[in-house]
């Protein structure tokens, strides 16, 4: 417990964001999943990396596609595994928009947070 | 249902943020509570405006104070109700930091979101 606290100390404060669309949400989990699909070229491997079932990953991707009415992941053919997945232009754009907004929040917010009054380094 | 959808259409997309501190979180609910305490001068009225119990509001404020080790709400004396509550300097700073980061996220993120490919105005 005290060990995880001291690890947290290095990363906090941190700002994460959630994007509310008309008919769905984009949060850190879905964006991480998209990034892992792009990195691994496989929905199955991306799901495994996030310790979630293939079905859950697939449903998350489906829910994103439903928001936009445009495919977010495309099938690739060939390769060692005989085909896989990669992000569509929309999928890449969602990741970029999310990470851009997240950087914007951190850039403007962390400075304000650091200036807050706070009890001196409690152990 | 279709009515609430068409109302949502006017506000989305919208970006909300969450700030992770070493030992707690600041999200839209806590910040709204702080703003209402400042507006109403009363934890009880702020809680009622958010349809939450006084106890729940009090615990949320306590959890925020515990993050900083500094009071987030101060008691006021006198007035019609015989005393109430107002935000401390820390409380005001938390609201400012949160809303600043939120604006930063929306400013940078919404432009990127609007450029995403999307099926044409589905009804």
What ipTM describes this predicted complex? 0.75
Task: Judge: B108–A101 Cβ closer than 8 Å, yes or no.
Answer: yes
Residue B9 has pLDDT above 70, yes or no: no
**Mean pLDDT for the stretch of residues B57-63:** 95
**Tokens representing A91?**
């999928």
Is B121 a residue whose pLDDT tops 70? Answer: no
Mean pLDDT rounded to a whole number for chain B: 85
pLDDT given for residue B2 in this prediction = 41
Tens-place pLDDT, residues B23-45: 899 999 999 999 999 999 999 99
User: What is the per-residue pLDDT for A80?
Assistant: 63
Q: Do A104 and B102 touch (CB under 8 A)?
A: no
Q: Which residue has the higher pLDDT, B49 or A111?
A: B49
Helix (H) or strand (E) holding A84: strand A84-87
Q: Which residues of A touch B15 (CB under 8 A)?
A: 17-20, 101, 105
| CATH class of this structure's domain B16-109 | mainly alpha
B65: nearest Cα among A99, A48, A122: A122
Q: Does the beta-carbon distance from A97 to B113 stay under 8 Å? A: yes
> pLDDT tens, B69-86?
999 999 888 666 567 999
User: pLDDT at position B80, please?
Assistant: 63
Q: What is the pLDDT of residue B110?
A: 87
- Report the residue from B89, B97, B107 with minimal CB separation from A104: B107
CB pairs A-B closer than 8 Å: 146
The residues of chain A scoring below 50 in pLDDT are 1-10, 121-123
CB contact under 8 A, A112 and B89: no
Among the partner-chain residues B12, B16, B103, the one whose CB lies closest to the CB of A22 is B12
DSSP chain B: -HHHHHHHHHH-SEEEEEEEETTEEE-HHHHHHHHHHHHHS-HHHHHHHTT--HHHHHHHHHHHHHHHTS-SEEEE--TTTT-EEEE-HHHHHHHHHHHHHHHHHHHHHHHHHHTS---S---
Taking an 8 Å Cβ-Cβ cutoff, which residues of chain B contact chain A? 5, 8-9, 12-23, 68-70, 89-90, 93-94, 96-98, 100-110, 112-113, 115-119, 122
- Indicate the range of A66-70, A74-78, B104-108, B117-121 predicted with least confidence: B117-121
Q: Which of A18, A22, A109 sits opposite B104 (nearest CB)?
A: A109
The pLDDT, as a whole number, for residue A120 is 55
């Amino acid at each position: 417990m005290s060990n995880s606290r001291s690890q947290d100390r290095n990363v906090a404060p941190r700002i994460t964001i959630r994007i509310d669309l008309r008919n769905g949400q984009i949060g850190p989990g879905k964006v991480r999943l998209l990034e892992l699909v792009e990195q691994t070229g496989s929905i199955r491997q991306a799901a495994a990396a996030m310790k979630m079932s293939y079905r859950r990953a697939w449903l998350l991707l489906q829910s994103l596609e439903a928001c936009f009415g445009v495919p977010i992941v495309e099938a690739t053919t060939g390769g060692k595994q005989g085909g896989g997945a990669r992000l569509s232009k929309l999928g890449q754009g969602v990741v970029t928009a999310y990470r851009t907004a997240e950087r914007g929040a951190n850039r403007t917010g962390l400075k304000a947070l650091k200036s807050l009054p706070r009890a001196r380094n409690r152990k």
